[in-house]
Chains A and B, each alone.
Chain A
Amino acid sequence: GAVVSQHPSRVICKSGTSVKIECRSLDFQATTMFWYRQFPKQSLMLMATSNEGSKATYEQGVEKDKFLINHASLTLSTLTVTSAHPEDSSFYICSASRGLVNTEAFFGQGTRLTVV
């Protein structure tokens, strides 16, 4: 099956710094990728939809200037958490799909971000 690779799997950073998370589709071209955040004991919450070659579409309540998304190619999307704070500590996960009709989603392994 298709593989989506996410890196890094775990990162600890100091408050105020920025962290970049990469999401790559290894064996298919993903025109659309999705970024989620998951707090403990809660479901995956969609943060934004990343579209290759255009601006990302952010969900209500997600600050686009804080969570910068770049989808520069059909196989790579990046999420940068800028000026991270402890409340940004969470599990971030990306997903990609070949399409939106009767196609499953493939997930990256997730990134556990801890801001200290």
Chain B
Amino acid sequence: RKEVEQDPGPFNVPEGATVAFNCTYSNSASQSFFWYRQDCRKEPKLLMSVYSSGNEDGRFTAQLNRASQYISLLIRDSKLSDSATYLCVVIDKLSFGAGTTVTVRA
């Protein structure tokens, strides 16, 4: 089993829609989780940390489910600029998920 697994998508959503996707991790002792965004041919950029209590940053909501060992990212009111690949990161040795591609269409 891979350390971190994501639904690769792609998720094609209309502007204004809500999109959500998960990332599962195998190490129950993992402590820190992040969502990164990667645009084509660029380095990943931190989108947000994922806290145990769940956290929200504008249109983005991240949640952690330790019992089922997954984290989630929800994007509300999608914008064209949200089109990217979203990578989940589990901090054991900075393991990355394969990324979820989101394409927002006009």
Binding site for B on A (CB under 8 A): 34, 36, 42-46, 49, 91, 93, 95, 97, 100-105, 107-110, 112
Contact = CB atoms under 8 A, between A and B. Distances in A.
Given A44-B87, A91-B41, A104 B46 contact: yes
Contacts of B91: 97, 100-103
Contacts of A112: 41
Nearest to B31: A101
Contacts of B32: 100-103
B87 A97 contact: no
B95 interface: yes
Interface residues of B, number: 21
Interface in B78-106: 87, 89, 91-99
Contact of A34 (B43, B45, B93): B93
Contact of A43 (B43, B93, B96): B96
B98 A42 contact: yes
A110 B97 contact: no
B96 A46 contact: yes
A8 to B, nearest CB: 14
Please give me the 8 A-B residue pairs with the lowest Cβ-Cβ distance, nearest first: A43-B98, A107-B43, A44-B96, A43-B99, A110-B43, A102-B32, A104-B46, A34-B94
A46 B87 contact: no
Given A93-B43, A100-B32, A105 B93 contact: no
23 contacts: A42-B98, A43-B98, A44-B87, A44-B96, A45-B96, A46-B93, A46-B94, A91-B41, A95-B94, A97-B91, A97-B94, A100-B32, A100-B91, A100-B92, A101-B32, A102-B91, A103-B91, A104-B46, A104-B49, A105-B89, A105-B94, A108-B43, A110-B43
